[in-house]
């Protein structure tokens, strides 16, 4: 049987080669045939879920409900120390000093990551900024979203903290965080379809063991994940309940 693996559409371009290397690594280690499929957006990927085209997915937490409660996927692994915290940032010389200084009509640059947008908009709701009284500028990446702020095309941008932390010092000097979320239980999940259950244990074990070898550590460094560990179903259910509450 040939399997298909996919990853979150907003995965940074710099991490893409590492996922291809991981795919090759898993094929050789487990003696399986597996293809990696990259989707340009979440709608196309969700259609692939529903069509049964994906067996393994490093999924955005926003899609956990669809995957696990509707399509019968199982949570196998979680990334360690990679919570999806959100930074809302503005230009360094902007008049706004905090969220309360933002007003209706604010222009928001976003890479259209549903989990990042969800958390960020909840933060903005505390100062009465909603989707109906703001304008969202959809960008092809988080870096481009930040550039929209630098160029004056947007007032603020939503970035994962992990992306913000990796911006160059020159770029950071021109930007200023207004707030950073603190919801540490929300993160991506590596999940698997029912039809691939024969190798769930093998895949999960192989991911867990990546941090135990030099080659594995190199792969983890390339995809930007310190290590993987087993994700208990109870943990996944708790995160899904939280995401559903936030929606």
Domain limits, the chain: 2-82+185-246, 86-180
Determine the average pLDDT of the residues in 29-45: 95
Is it the case that residue 81 has pLDDT exceeding 90?
A: no
Phi and psi at residue 245, in whole multiples of 5°?
-70, -35
More confident residue, 184 or 39: 39
CA atoms within 13 A on the CB side of 238: 10
Is it the case that residue 185 has pLDDT exceeding 90?
A: no
Tokens of 4: 């298909």
Among 179-183, 194-198, 200-204, whose mean pLDDT is lowest? 179-183
Please tell me if the domain spanning 2-82+185-246 has the same topology as the one spanning 86-180. yes
CATH number for region 86-180: 3.40.190.10
Determine the average pLDDT of the residues in 190-204: 97
Q: Which of 130, 87, 151, 138 is nearest to 111 (CA)?
A: 138
Element housing 79 (H / E): strand 74-79
pLDDT of residue 84: 76
This prediction's pTM: 0.80
Phi and psi at residue 147, in whole multiples of 5°?
-65, -30
Give tens-digit pLDDT for 203-242.
999 999 999 999 999 999 999 999 999 998 888 999 888 8
pLDDT of residue 38: 95
**How far apart, in whole angstroms, are the C-alpha atoms of residue 186 and residue 79?**
11
pLDDT of residue 46: 94
- Give, in degrees to the nearest 5, the angle at Cα 171 between 169 and 176: 95
Q: Which of 90, 96, 111, 87 is nearest to 153 (CA)?
A: 90
* Beta carbons within 8 Å of 40's beta carbon, 6+ residues apart: 9
Give tens-digit pLDDT for 232-246.
888 899 988 888 877
Tell me which DSSP letter residue 69 carries.
Answer: I
- C-alpha pair distances (Å), 227 with each of 32, 50, 162, 218: 22, 29, 15, 11
Architecture of domain 2-82+185-246: 3-Layer(aba) Sandwich (3.40)
Give tens-digit pLDDT for 93-115.
999 999 999 999 999 999 989 99
């Amino acid at each position: 049987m040939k399997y298909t693996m996919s990853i979150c559409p907003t995965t940074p371009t710099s991490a893409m080669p590492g996922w291809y290397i991981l795919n090759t690594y898993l094929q050789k280690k487990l003696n399986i045939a597996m293809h990696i499929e990259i989707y340009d957006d979440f709608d196309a990927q969700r259609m692939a879920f529903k069509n049964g085209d994906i067996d393994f997915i490093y999924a955005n937490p926003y899609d956990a409900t669809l995957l696990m409660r509707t399509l019968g996927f199982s949570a196998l692994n979680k990334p360690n120390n990679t919570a999806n915290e959100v930074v809302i940032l503005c230009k360094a010389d902007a008049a706004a000093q905090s969220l309360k200084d933002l007003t209706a009509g604010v222009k928001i640059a976003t890479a259209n990551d549903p989990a990042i947008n969800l958390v960020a908009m909840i933060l903005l709701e505390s100062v009465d900024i909603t989707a109906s009284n703001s304008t969202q500028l959809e960008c092809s990446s988080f870096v481009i979203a930040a550039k929209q702020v630098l160029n004056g095309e947007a007032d603020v941008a939503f970035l994962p903290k992990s992306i913000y932390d990796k911006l160059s010092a020159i770029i950071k000097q021109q930007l200023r965080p207004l707030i950073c979320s603190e919801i540490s239980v929300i993160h991506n999940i590596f999940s698997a379809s029912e039809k691939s259950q024969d190798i769930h244990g093998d895949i999960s074990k192989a991911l867990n063991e990546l941090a135990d070898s030099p080659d594995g550590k190199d792969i983890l460094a390339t995809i930007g994940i310190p290590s993987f560990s087993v994700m208990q179903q109870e943990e996944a259910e708790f995160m899904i309940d939280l995401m559903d509450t936030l929606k």
